[in-house]
Amino acid sequence: MLKVLLVTQDDPFYIPIFFKELFKVDISRKFELLGIIIQPPLGKKSIKKLIFQMLDFYGLFNFLLLGTKYAIYKLFNTLALRVFNGKFPGVFSVEHILRKKDLRIIQIKNINAKESLDYLSGFNPDIIFSIAASQVFKKGILELPNIGCFNIHTSKLPKNRGMMPNFWSLYNYDKDAYSAITIHKMNENLDDGEILLQKDFKLDPNESLDTLIRRTKKLSAEIFLQAIDLLNNNKIDFIKNDSTMATYNSFPKKDDVLRFKAKGLKIR
């Protein structure tokens, strides 16, 4: 049975959906979960830069609405973790749902740091899986697991590499009505490694981006388990992730959001 480390980030809204879906299955029958590394959500971004980025993306009204919701979630999350040790109704963060399951949580700020590599090597993992990890994996961590590091990306790679793939897939609906959940082996280039598994799904232009992200988090858990089965049974038949066909995207800017909405598409 595979020994697996998961790497994710602190997020109250979307990533818990993946874990809630995943834990509907008895994962102990699928793989040995060594622990879950929770990274800070900002990566290298400052809080000030993040605020302006979110303001441009959501607009003032939705920014204030989400900001209020975020503050409420943080308050209840603090209560759930510090007072009730995770045994509190609802789900207010990734850590909250993991504490409910009594799973090993590993707090690592920089997964590429030597001390992190030294610590993680003690687990002797077969696979390290990125579930929306907030940092780029460098050579040291990529070479640490016995089989390799894998990533879940919510686009039809090699299309829409980079940030916010759901946004760009929906934005380009008029050019391609299908997107995909892709699981690929990681290398030092962004979203570039060979593809282990790719499952298409139909986009719906009447669906908001928020709803699409929620839908793909559930789909990602399902495809993740399929990938684990392939790896457990050594049924590995990689598909080329052709860089000559790749498209790359950054986080949407204000003008991108305006063009998105001009197409009749909705953020929320």
* Boundaries of every domain in the chain: 3-262
pLDDT class of 41 with cuts at 50, 70, 90? confident
What percent of the chain has pLDDT above 70? 99
161 sits in which H/E element: strand 161-162
pLDDT class of 45 with cuts at 50, 70, 90? low
Span 157-185, average pLDDT: 96
Listed in sequence order, the DSSP H helices in the chain are 15-22, 47-78, 94-100, 114-121, 139-142, 165-171, 209-232, 254-262
Of the listed ranges 31-45, 160-174, 222-236, the one predicted with least confidence: 31-45
Phi, psi of 11 (to 5 degrees): -155, 125
pLDDT above 60 (res 48): yes
The predicted pLDDT at position 257 comes to 96
pLDDT digits (tens, 9 = 90+) for 103-122: 999 988 899 999 999 999 99
Domain 3-262 has CATH 3.40.50.170: yes
pLDDT class of 51 with cuts at 50, 70, 90? confident
Reference 126, options 245, 232, 197; nearest CA is 232
pLDDT above 80 (res 130): yes
Average pLDDT over the chain, rounded to whole? 94
The predicted pLDDT at position 234 comes to 86
Cβ pair 104, 125 in contact under 8 A: no
pTM over 0.85: yes
The predicted pLDDT at position 245 comes to 94
The predicted pLDDT at position 44 comes to 56
Q: What distance in Å separates the CA atoms of residue 128 and residue 60, rounded to the nearest whole number? A: 38
Span 184-205, average pLDDT: 96
| Placement of tokens 């793909």 in the chain | 216
| Count of CB atoms situated within 10 Å of the CB of 113 | 14
Inter-axis angle of helices 209-232 and 15-22, to 10 degrees?
A: 40
The predicted pLDDT at position 43 comes to 58
Reference 141, options 115, 107, 103; nearest CA is 115
pLDDT above 90 (res 149): yes
